Every structure is written in structure tokens, then in C-alpha cells.
Structure 1
Amino acid sequence: MSPRRSTRLPEIDNELGRRVRVFRKRRGLSLEVVAGLAGITKQYLSLIERGERRISDRRMLSDICDAIGCSIVDVTGEPYLPADRDAAGALATIPPIQLALLDCDLEDVPDHPVPPIQQLEQAVREAHLHCDHTRYEISGRVLGQVLVDLQVIVATGDEQQQRRALTALVEACKIACAISKNMGHPQIGVAAATRGLEAARRLGDPALLGYARWYYSLVLLRIGARRRATSILSTALNDLAAVDDPSAPRPLASEVYGMVQLTSALGAARSGHTDQARSHLAEARALAERTGERNNLFMHFGPTNVRAWTLSIGAELGEGGAALEQVQPDSVDLSAFAGSPNRVAGWHYELARALAQEGGSRDFEAVRHLDIAERTAPQWMHHEPMARELLFQLNGRARTTQWELSSLRNRFGVHSN
């Protein structure tokens, strides 16, 4: 028989609630005021601060942070300490990325020789592959220098070299954005996305411009800038609609268009606009049926990814059970993700979130899928605040000690006191 659990809540399990209380009191705000601004009851906010209820989705997290007047990273406490050597290596890549973005721009660059453009293009492709496999310590190892060298060519090369460098820079900035955002430095991710958008505008390619706007909107949503993200996504949708062609041999514009629809659905869900979220999701689903499974620029757009996003959006809307019925997880073939640990982990993570909303006997399934997600993409999961909250939620609801939860806590680096 498994031992009964202690009723005492470990302090680390209440990371978010404790920080909410600290920042609320520093601002001199009452429970009534913050709860009213966040659209929740005073009693529920009090339960969050005491760790008896969880901040279960990013919409609630953003609403509470907006009400208090602090940033999301203030409350999440990011970046987290590395749980292993690989995570430490990934975090070590952030300062060179930041320096490459702050010490250069598309006109003001250092005076030094750079490798041939084809060598830099190959480095970007390899970095993107490693990023898709969530091997951030490898992906980001030379990324800072690659960003500098590409900007040097943009500023000093001939017209053909400039266009090739701008194209590679749009992709390189997406990688820099993803690593920074996923390792707990979203502000640096914003800087990377801003530079990528600047490069895409100068290049003038509508598909790549839409691509840059897409990943820019993702990092904006990550920091809670929902209004700005919605504006960027709306512009992208309007421009991409004119070049959408799913029948093209390489339908990059259609794939980007689909990802923008999915992200628009997510943004609408996080703003409480249920009908808009469902409308964008339906548009993405219809487009995916026409494109089939695609993977240009490692976006993995297609019917399978739409089903994964359906789970995510359902969880954001508090409709995890309905999303599970719609998606029918047992019928999903994850081979469509072309061996991408990033997307496979994302699938299992979103499945765990949806199952956890059902609660009861489904918590055991949620633990199993969170465990798979962590084992598949540990660097991402360890530094995802809502994955940590999900772990704490499942741990708090478990009626007996489970070795799976204890193992997860150890691997996340969140040990009980």
C-alpha cells in the first residue's frame, strides 16, 4: 500500500501564488481590487496566494499580472536554475545571443571578416534542426556569432549576398527567439523577433514577412502583450490571405498562414474570445486538409499539429474534456511530426493539460503524458512555468505518494522541503 501523503504544502509548490501575494502587497493593493481587475473572486485569489488553487492557464496568469501591474516573469520567477548540465549549457548561449542583438543592427556592424554566406546558411539550418530537437545547448552554441556575421553581410555585402543574408537572418532570429523564450528570457526573445521582423520587412518576401510576424506574436503572447500580438496577427492574416496557395510545390505562405490562424486562435482564447478562437481554429483545420502534413522551416503545419493546437486552445478555454473528445488522441499518428521531439513533447504536454482539467481518475493519465513530455524535451519542459504548475497541481491532488510524481519533481529540480 502506498503511504498517505502529508497535508502540508511544500513552499516550492506555491511559487506563483507566493509571488502574486508579494507583488500585490508591494503595490499596496487589496485582494478585492486585484481580484476585480483580474475577473476572479476575492476568495479564489486568496486560495491562489495560499497555494490551494493553481493558476492553470496563461490567460489567468496574464490577467492577474495586469491587475497587479507587474510582468509575467516577475510572478513566474524565470529564468529557473538549470536542472542539469545540458540546461546550464543552453542558458550559457543566451548572453552571446543578447550581445549580437544589442551590439549590432542591420547598418551598424563590427569591421571584421565573415565566413562565406553558404557556410552561414548551413549553420542556420543545423541550428534550426537542433532547436526542433530541443537541444538548445547545441543549437545556440554558435548562434550569437552567426547573428553577428549575417548582419555584417546585410550591411556590407552586394545585393545578392544581402538578400541571402536577410533570408538566413529571419530564420536565425526565430531560433534565437525560441531558445531565449523557452529558457526563461522572453525579453531577449522579443529583441530577436524584432530584429527578424526588421530583416523580413527589408527583404520584402510576403511568406517570410508573415513567418517573422508569426514568431514575433508568439513571444508577445508569452509576455502577456495580447493586444499587440493580436494586432500583428491580424496584419499577417490579411497579407497572407493574398498569397495563400496550398497547391504550390512548396506552400510556405500557406503553412505560415495556417500557423498564424492557430496562433490567432490561441490569442483569442487567452483573451476570452471563445467564438473567435473557434473560428480561427476551424480555418486552420480546413487549410491543413488542403496542405497535408508539411514541415517547411520546422513549423510542422498539417492536420496532426492542428489537433495538438486544438488541445492547447481547449485547455486555455477551460474545455479540455471537449477538446479530448474532438481530437480523439488514440487515433493520432505522431509520426507526422517527422521525429520532432519539440512537437511530440508538445502533444503529450497539451494532452496532460486537457486530462488534468477532467481530474479524478484521469489524473493518472495526465501524469503519464507529462512524464513523456518531460523525457522527450526536458530543456523545454523544465523551463515552462505552466508545466511546473501542472506538476504541482497533479502532485497536490494525488491522494497517495506516486513514484512517477516524485521522479518528475526530481527531474524538474523542484524538490519538497
Structure 2
Amino acid sequence: MSSGGSERLDPEPIAFGQRLQILRTRRGMTREVLAGLVGKSYEWVKSLEAGRLKAPGLDTILALAEALRVRDLADLVGHHKAHVDLFAGPGHARLPEVRAAINTLPLTTTAEAPPAAHLQARLAHAWAARHKAPDHREVVGALLPDLIRDAQLAVRQADSALDRRAAQAILSEVYSLSQFFLAYQPDSALLWRVVERGVVAAQESEDPHALGVAAWLSAQAHRDSGPGHYDAADAVTMAVLEYLDPQLPDAGDDLLAIAGALQFEAGYTAARRGDTGSAWSYWDRARAMAERLPGDYYHPVTSFSRTIMGAHATTVAVELHAGGESVRQAARAEADVIRSRPRRARHRIEQARAYQLDGQPDVALATLAQAHEAAPETIRWNGYAKRIVLEEIESRVPARRSRAAELAQRIGLLAA
């Protein structure tokens, strides 16, 4: 084969209908079920698979791919240039505005940056609004573009080294807020630009809390990139924990909380590895840190607190694929005490994963419905929730299948 980058073609390309039939059969799905999911008839699916019908339009192809849980569109259409990650979903309506603000540097603008206190107040308002809103991405997406531009200006126009460090701390936290918006959006390159800029700004600020928050989010981004990045997640977490450790005896609540959040992140990554001992050991350390906080304390970024530890225990058990233990932890952890609506919805999704692991799909679906009630924009973009719903759409139990289909419509998985 030539090394000049020419595209390889199969000697006998598999037709669209044949690919459809193979993928449907692999899923164990009948033609009747597939037809129902895409709003077509049994005969239409049969004729398409037999090659008596031409490949349908893009909207129908995407509906077929979603119903079959095809991860890469190329697997269905057979075209090597059609690689699309279907679980990413369409981007949020506010994504273009946020992207433009991140990608445009204020090098020639004559605008004057707001005072640092004004920026800090706007940032605090944005965090509070995010935690209270069921449509938190919409709310944050509307605030972010101006926040990003003004925080960048504040760094550029700082009059002294002290002012510049303070502005860098604010900018780093603005990038942290941006990362919450960009999570699960179909622009991984933009997400990583924000992660890296946030860490650099935090380092420039020399602010321990800003550095802790940036590291907390950086570790999550590495871990969510797959097993090949777990070591990088640990490296970030451990380096910052070592840096923070001498400061903790006399630390304020926010610094104690971010250290506790980082301890849990180490446990989360260990659980992903399947390392049960380390996962629960780090959870214990995080809980000890939480006990040093006031009972009513709640970290404004990470939600770390005494009340969040039950939710964290559920996550550890689920990531360890311990069905019985995950259900026990899910039953113990109260969702209503979690103040943040998106964090409460995320906990409900973790509970649903626990019930699914334990062979309780009906309870899992009911719990996902509670997640939707808490924050629709959390469940809409969460891959775990989507997978549970898509699996139960194929259930042989009619009532369960109906509930799953209704939930799929509510979260935007299927056309209404």
C-alpha cells in the first residue's frame, strides 16, 4: 500500500442496507422495534435492508444511527470520511457565542476593563445562577461571553504585578465556569484550550484556591478522555495536593474544600481503574476533610461539603461496578440535601446507574425522571443517562419500553 495517504477501498463495499441489517442484528433488535423508533414501517426497514430502497436522507440516517446506538456514523454509512461521534449530540445554542469569546483575544480593543471587585461579583452571581437553574447551560452560556472578554481585558490592563495576579485568578475561575458549560459539547479542542488556559492563569495568579479549582477540572478532563489519560489525571491531582498540604493546617474553608474535592478526584480515578482499596481510601480522606468544614458550608464551584460525601460514595461504588454496594450507597445518599440543581441531577444519574447495575431498570428509569425534573440540561447532555434510556427502549417489557421512550422524548433523544 502506498504511504502517500490514499484512501483504502474495500474490494466489495458493503451496501447501506447490509450494514443496517448487521448493526440491527448485533443489537438484537427486531425490524418492528427499529421501525417504531424511527417512525417507519416494518416493510420499509425490510426493503431498505434488502437494497430495494436507496439510502435515506441525512435526518433518517441519523435517526437510525441513534436508535441502533451507533457510536461512529461511518459504521453505518460505510464512508471512511464520515467519522462523527454520535454520542456528542448537537451543540448548545449558546456554544458559538462562547467559542467566539474564547477564541478572540482583546489585543486591539479600546474598551476599559471593569474593576476586579465588579468582575468578582459577576462571577459569584454566575456560579449562584448555575446552581439554581434547571437550564444551567442556557443561563451560564448567556453570561460567559462578556465575562470571558472582560476578564481577559483585566489581565491585559493590570497596572501592577499584584493587580495582574488578582486578575489572573479571576480569569482562571472564568475558564473553570466555561469548562462546566463546555462539558459534553461537541468541541473537545475548545474544551482543552479552556482547561490549559485555566491552569496557566491559575499558576500565574499564585492563588492556591484558583490553582486547586483549575487542577480539579483538569483532572476530570484527563480522566474523561479514557484509560490512557488516568496517569495524567493522577499527576495533576497529586502535584496540587502536595503543594496545598503545608497550607492546610491554617487554611480557610474554601481551601480545605478544594483539597477535599481533589482527594475525592483521586478516589474517582482509582475507581475507574478498578482499584477498590485506593478508591475508598481516598474517599475516606475526602470525608475527613469535609468533617473539618461547617455543617452548612457548600463550596461554590465543586459543591464539596459534608452533604456531598454520600453522593461521592455512590459514584465510587458505581465506577467499581459493585451493583449491591452501589445500590446501598445510592439509598443512603439523600439527593434533596444537595443545593445545586445540576449537581443534584448528576447524583440522580449516578443513582440510576447503580440501579441499572443491580438489575433494577424500572427504578433506574424513575430515578432518571427525577434527574430530569432537577435539571433537564444535565441529563440531556449526559452519556450515561442516554445509554440507560436507549437500552430500555429495547426492553421486552412493554410498560418499561413505553416509559423509556417517553423519557427519551423529554430529554431530546428521540423526535417528539
- Superposition TM-score, scaled by structure 2 size: 0.75
Question: Which one of the candidate residues 90, 103, 106 is aligned to 1:81?
Answer: 90
For 1:228-256, what per-residue CA distance to the aligned partner results, in whole angstroms no more than 9, with x for missing partners? 222111212212222224x75x4222111
Q: Distance in 2 between matches of 1:150 and 1:415?
A: 39
Tell me the amino acid that sits aligned with residue 304 of structure 1: T
Which position in structure 2 is the counterpart of 1:408? 407
Which position in structure 1 is the counterpart of 2:33? 8
Q: Distance in 1 between matches of 2:185 and 2:121?
A: 24
Which position in structure 2 is the counterpart of 1:399? 397
Structure 2 CA distance for partners of 1:21 and 1:274, relative to 1, 3 Å: farther
Which position in structure 1 is the counterpart of 2:137? 136
Which position in structure 2 is the counterpart of 1:42? none
Tell me the amino acid that sits aligned with residue 364 of structure 1: D
Post-superposition shift, 1:415?
Answer: 2.5
Which position in structure 1 is the counterpart of 2:304? 301
Contact 1:131 1:175 in 2 (8 A): no
Post-superposition shift, 1:269?
Answer: 2.0
For 1:294-352, what per-residue CA distance to the aligned partner results, in whole angstroms no more than 9, with x for missing partners? 32323221233121122122112111321222x262x54445323x1112112211111
Post-superposition shift, 1:393?
Answer: 2.1
Tell me the amino acid that sits aligned with residue 240 of structure 2: A
Contact 1:126 1:139 in 2 (8 A): no
Q: Distance in 1 between matches of 2:413 and 2:198?
A: 35
Percent of pairs identical after alignment?
21
Which position in structure 2 is the counterpart of 1:155? 156
Given the alignment of the two structures, is residue 371 of structure 1 paired with residue 369 of structure 2, yes or no? yes
Alignment of 1:201-220 (within 5 A): 201-220=203-222
Contact 1:76 1:385 in 2 (8 A): no
Given the alignment of the two structures, is residue 350 of structure 1 paired with residue 375 of structure 2, yes or no? no
Contact 2:113 2:153 in 1 (8 A): yes
Given the alignment of the two structures, is residue 226 of structure 1 paired with residue 230 of structure 2, yes or no? yes
Gap regions ≥5 residues in structure 1: 28-72, 83-90
Q: Distance in 2 between matches of 1:279 and 1:407?
A: 40
SS in 2 for 1:336: coil
Q: Distance in 1 between matches of 2:316 and 2:322?
A: 8
Q: Distance in 1 between matches of 2:145 and 2:336?
A: 32
Structure 2 CA distance for partners of 1:342 and 1:77, relative to 1, 3 Å: closer
Q: Answer with 182-191 or 374-383: which moved more.
A: 182-191
Q: Answer with 5-14 or 194-203: which moved more.
A: 5-14
Post-superposition shift, 1:398?
Answer: 5.2
Which position in structure 1 is the counterpart of 2:120? 121
Alignment of 1:156-305 (within 5 A): 156-159=157-160, 160-224=162-226, 225-245=229-249, 248=251, 250-293=252-295, 294-305=297-308
Which position in structure 2 is the counterpart of 1:30? none
Contact 1:190 1:220 in 2 (8 A): no
For 1:339-389, what per-residue CA distance to the aligned partner results, in whole angstroms no more than 9, with x for missing partners? x11121122111110011011xx2221111111101211112111122100
Post-superposition shift, 1:407?
Answer: 1.9
Q: Answer with 374-383 or 279-288: which moved more.
A: 279-288
Question: Which one of the candidate residues 321, 326, 343 is aligned to 1:323?
Answer: 326
Post-superposition shift, 1:97?
Answer: 2.5
Structure 2 CA distance for partners of 1:387 and 1:348, relative to 1, 3 Å: same
Contact 1:177 1:188 in 2 (8 A): no
SS in 2 for 1:413: coil
Contact 1:255 1:301 in 2 (8 A): yes
SS in 2 for 1:131: helix
Contact 1:109 1:152 in 2 (8 A): no
Tell me the amino acid that sits aligned with residue 94 of structure 1: L
Structure 2 CA distance for partners of 1:328 and 1:151, relative to 1, 3 Å: closer
Structure 2 CA distance for partners of 1:334 and 1:375, relative to 1, 3 Å: closer
Post-superposition shift, 1:113?
Answer: 2.2
Structure 2 CA distance for partners of 1:25 and 1:298, relative to 1, 3 Å: same
Contact 1:181 1:188 in 2 (8 A): no
Which position in structure 2 is the counterpart of 1:70? none
Pairwise CA RMSD of aligned residues?
3.0
Post-superposition shift, 1:177?
Answer: 0.5
Contact 2:330 2:351 in 1 (8 A): no
For 1:131-182, what per-residue CA distance to the aligned partner results, in whole angstroms no more than 9, with x for missing partners? 2235211212131222122111212222354233222212211110110114
Q: Distance in 1 between matches of 2:291 and 2:383?
A: 33
Aligned length: 351
Structure 2 CA distance for partners of 1:110 and 1:275, relative to 1, 3 Å: farther
Q: Distance in 1 between matches of 2:347 and 2:233?
A: 24
Q: Distance in 2 between matches of 1:166 and 1:109?
A: 19
Post-superposition shift, 1:266?
Answer: 1.5
Contact 2:165 2:205 in 1 (8 A): yes
Structure 2 CA distance for partners of 1:129 and 1:16, relative to 1, 3 Å: farther
Contact 1:109 1:151 in 2 (8 A): no
Contact 2:130 2:136 in 1 (8 A): yes
Q: Distance in 2 between matches of 1:344 and 1:171?
A: 22
